[in-house]
Every structure is written in structure tokens, then in C-alpha cells.
Structure 1
């Protein structure tokens, strides 16, 4: 993966498996496509999920810099925050989470279950912030306060989607290419959810550094509106590619679809609910309602209308605990 001098700690067993979803194919009556899933939900630490890819590099950097605390930001039900708490516990660091009430919900399931339950179980210090707060500013102010106590904190923003964090997703691109060679196939499209942009940006940079086609990667934005998602993902892909010794990612190399976002981040859609149910009932697999659920809804729509053909890989990014926070939507 280009340069190899980035501090990194192992947090999961790689590679995560790729499996064919034959029962989903049968349910859809597919003839011109085959559907595969990359099981990043199977990572054992902290309930699993692809944010551990970023945390291998982020916590690697934190330990390399002699930090004793890891501070990050996110929404109240952030998968990244939950896995940050778990990974910090594994590495003997304190975790502090700056969580904003991004989603306008006040029901007990959302406020206290799912990732919120696990954050505290993993021993993180949780700071709840109002919806309009600047969580990253609060994180840096907290780091200043800890410095005054003689401690040293590593700070990263939402999703761990810094250039250093997204190196983990560039490594995922190399992992997918290796598995393609082993399986004797090539995925026409690799589909992911796009929240804080890091997964898509890292995959694009990882493909580009291998002189593979970054346009194979397609994301469905679940957080930002389409234009902002395109701008943010392209900018981050540039930064990650630069870390790897590359020069330029072109705008047309970043493909994002805005059709599955719905009213706003974290707000359920009928397509997401149907997609989560289909995956559960056809394959016995659980996709989360905020990220992979909406992206998988996009996969199903593309397979049905014929815009997705050939061999398609859906990167299932984990986030299963979030289902418990969305019980009212499924009731």
C-alpha cells in the first residue's frame, strides 16, 4: 500500500470474508448480476464494524505520539464512538466521546440503548452536546484541559475520517483486490455507505495507488446532501492519496448516489426498512439502519432496475447495535 511507515496496531483478523448472497439473488430473480457481501461486521472487537480499519491507524498514531487518551466526536448512536471506546480499552487508553444530538429523537431506545449502552460499558467518558454544538471544538478544548493535568490526548473528528484514519480503507481496497485474485473474479461495482466520507475516500485512494479503477467504488450518501458529499469525499480522497505518494484524484473518479439519504441523517426510510428485513429474512444477516441499511436499499434498487450488473460487492460495514436504538421504526 505504498509507503509503510504509518504506525498501525492490529484490531481485527484480516481479511474479512466475502460471501455470495444467493438467497437475495433468488428473491430478486437476478439473471444479469451476482451479489456478494464483504463481512466487515464480523470483526470481533467491540461488536464489529469497519471503523476498526480506521482505528488501527488512529490508535497507532496516538500510541506512537505517547497519548494516554483518545477523544473523538459523533452522533449519539455513533458506531465509530462505540468502537473507539472498545479499541481504546483494548489498548489501555482512556476514551472520551463528544456526542451531539444530531438526530431529533428523544425516545428511550435512542437515548439509552444500542451504541449508547455500549459506550458506557466499554468505560468511555461520554459528553452529551446539543445539536448545534461544534463537537470538534469541544474535543480540542477538552484536550487542552487534560494537557493542563499533565495528560496527552489524541483528537479525531466524526467517523475517524481523517486522512490517517482513511488509510485503513485504502488497505481495505488492497484486501479486496487480493480476494478477487483468490476468487478468480472482478467486481464491476463495490458499494459502500457514505457518512463522514472516509470509507469511500480510502477505497478510492487505495484503488488509485494500485493503478486500479477508482470508479468501481459507488457510495450512497446517508449524511450530507449529494453535492456536499461529493466535495467532501473528493477532498479527503486527495489527502489520502497524497499520503500514499499519489498526485491527483479526479472528480469523475468519485461516484456517489443521493437517492437513499431520505429526509436527513438517521431518519428511517421505507426502502431502508425493507432492505434490512430482506437481508435478515433471506440471509439471516443484520445490517444497521443508519448506514448499511440505506446503502443496501440502493443496491437492491440498482439490481432491480438493471443499473447494477455483473458481479457486485456490498461492503457490509457493521453497526448492528444501532438496530436496538431503532426498535420503534421496526415495530
Structure 2
């Protein structure tokens, strides 16, 4: 009886949210402030989006870091401060992915990532908020630390929030397909969210962010020459590049710091996601030129999920100078790259540099031995 009542309430909750998503009216759906780029036949405001956090996030000056590096001025976009289980960039992507899931009548979601995945944590949180059953397929990028990484940080939060956890048997994609088939056989209607929610739907979150930044920069009276971001599954970088150009900024360069793969490999992935976004918003795939996809792979360190010495130093430095926590897998390495480029004057005509903080601080707990 208790389970029946729980299921009934969960169904009613999903139905109420889905009606808001489908109707595109009322407080549950955020409308864009403008229709978007002149090159698109789609009204960006009418693409379903399910608000999961309060926007905009802050874009703030970093005075002490700027002084320590001797200029130019450095700013930070605080996408680590959101309302979905400690926030992060995936929250913005999930606003579009879950809106699509609910519109399609899904009652469950499946996603994947590493055992300390920030994306998985945010997906589990957002699914709980919307009443969707959540299944996550996890791999262990650093097997020798499995016990440490499955007792703290993001994994601990996944457990607390009720994730159905499946460890990958071989490839993650094969395990995802197995879980999907099992859910369908049991009568469920699962919705697949790729790693990082980095596809044409999810990456709309950062097309929208680009518009948000353009508005903030105008208010702040700054004209950034570069935006810097950690690039893993590539949807954030792809969305930013597309969004800046789509909403009229033709000058600011988006620099992605790879956290796992060669620059050429990451560029191909960014290109693929950009092409997917173009399909969603009906823009010609030649709208973004290949030369606008900028990736630096010099700060990866040993490998993905293994902290680098430079990254650890950057985390400590930013923590002590600005009171801001970065993470050892993504933002720490990206900040190490930014610091090196500024300190050694490797940027051409840098001005009003913006660092996109994509979150990840919960993982610090799982990497405590690197700091203590």
C-alpha cells in the first residue's frame, strides 16, 4: 500500500512538471529574453527548458589573483554555485535534457560517468527533484583508488540521493544498453542522457549561458578577449562557442583545456556536438568555423582523474587568494593552464579574461590525500 501511494504521488508529480514543460507557459518554464540568432529558423525561447536553479550565476572580478599574476583582469563565472546538489555546469544541460525527457513521457533516466562524476551527481539530484527514477552506470578511471573513491565525494552523494548504481561490465555503453533493455522489459520508459549531457539538446544549456554572459559583460562594461573552460565531454565548450556567435559576440575566443585527450581528439568532439546543436536549432553546420574551436592539451598531467602537480598548486592558490574551491579533475587543471598562459604572457592581446567555474568541489573529499 505504501509503495502504491509513493508511485501514485511520483506519477502525479511527473505529470505536473511535464505539463509545464509541454505547455511552455507558466512559471515552470523559462523563456529566453530574445529569439536568438538571425541565422536560425527556430525561436530559441520556445525550446523546452525545465528550470533547476536560479539564474544568472555570478560573474565576479578576482582582484587578488589578478594582482598575483600581474594582470590582465581575471573574472570568474560561478557555475559551481547552483541549487542541484552543490551545482556545476551539468545543471544547465540537465534543464534541457530533462525537459526533453518529460516531454517525451519518460519515467526514468539513465546516464553514465566515472565513479566521481560531477555530471552523475547532478543528474541524480535533478532526477530526485523531478520524480524520475535514476540509473547510473559508473566506471573506475583509477582502479587502485576504488575504495577511496567509493566512500566519499560524489559517489557518497549519489548513494544518499537514491541512485540505482550499476558498475560497468566492460564498456560503459554496453552496460547502459543492458540497463536500458531491462527497464524497458519491466515496463519503464527510460530516457538516455549521454556522459556530461553533451549532445545537441543538453549543450543548449551553454548556448543559453553565452547569452547570459553577454548581458553581464555589457552591465559590467568589460569586453573579454577569452573565456577559459575545462573540456571533457565537450558540450560546455561547444555550447559556449555556438552561443556567443549565435547571440552576436564575434570577438571573444573560447579556450578549452582538455582534461583527458589530445587537442585534436577534443576538437573533433566539440565539432560533433556543435553540429548536433546546429540540427536542434536549425543553423547551417558551417556557422562555426573549425578555427574557432580552440583546445589546449598541455595541462592534463598523468591522465584523466589523476590530479596534476600544477592543478593542485592552482587549487591551493585560488583557495588562498580568493576563497574559491576548484576541483582536482577539471577546474584545477584548467586554472593551472590559465595561470601559466597569463604568467608567461602566452596570450595574444589578453583583456578581461573570464574563467568558467564548472563546479566539482565535492570530489575534493575523495582526493583528500593529495592535499593533506
Q: TM-score, normalised by structure 1?
A: 0.95
Match of 1:10 in 2: 51
Gaps of 5+ in 1: none
Match of 1:239 in 2: 276
Displacement, 1:244?
2.2
Match of 1:68 in 2: 107
SS of alignment partner, residue 46 of structure 1? coil
Displacement, 1:136?
2.3
The 5 A counterparts of 1:121-270 are 121-130=160-169, 133-213=170-250, 216-247=253-284, 248=286, 249-270=288-309
Match of 1:328 in 2: 369
Runs of 4+ in structure 1 off by over 4 angstroms are none
Moved more, 244-253 or 268-277: 244-253
Match of 1:116 in 2: 155
Displacement, 1:214?
7.1
Match of 1:319 in 2: 360
Q: Is the 8 A contact 1:3 1:245 kept in 2?
A: no
SS of alignment partner, residue 96 of structure 1? strand
Distance 1:164 1:223 in 2: 23
Match of 2:31 in 1: none
Displacement, 1:211?
3.4
Displacement, 1:212?
2.2
Match of 2:20 in 1: none
Distance 2:313 2:213 in 1: 28
Distance 1:12 1:44 in 2: 5
Q: Is the 8 A contact 2:225 2:252 kept in 1?
A: no
Distance 1:234 1:215 in 2: 18
Q: Is the 8 A contact 1:289 1:322 kept in 2?
A: yes
Q: Is the 8 A contact 2:200 2:279 kept in 1?
A: no
- Which of residues 275, 294, 298 in structure 1 aligns to 2:333? 294
Displacement, 1:129?
1.8
Distance 2:279 2:296 in 1: 25
Displacement, 1:59?
0.6
Displacement, 1:111?
2.4
Write out per-residue CA displacement over residues 11-40 of structure 1, whole angstroms, 9 at most, x where no aligned residue. 111110011110111222x14x10000001
Displacement, 1:76?
0.6
Match of 2:126 in 1: 87
Gaps of 5+ in 2: 1-35, 37-42
Q: TM-score, normalised by structure 2?
A: 0.85
Distance 2:48 2:271 in 1: 25
CA RMSD in angstroms, aligned pairs only: 1.4
Q: Is the 8 A contact 1:45 1:86 kept in 2?
A: yes
Aligned length: 327
Write out per-residue CA displacement over residues 164-209 of structure 1, whole angstroms, 9 at most, x where no aligned residue. 0101011111111111111111111000000000000011111221
Distance 1:260 1:302 in 2: 11
Q: Is the 8 A contact 2:224 2:353 kept in 1?
A: yes
Match of 1:97 in 2: 136
Distance 2:208 2:278 in 1: 12
Higher relative contact order (CA 8 A, sep 6+): 1
SS of alignment partner, residue 45 of structure 2? coil
Displacement, 1:319?
0.8
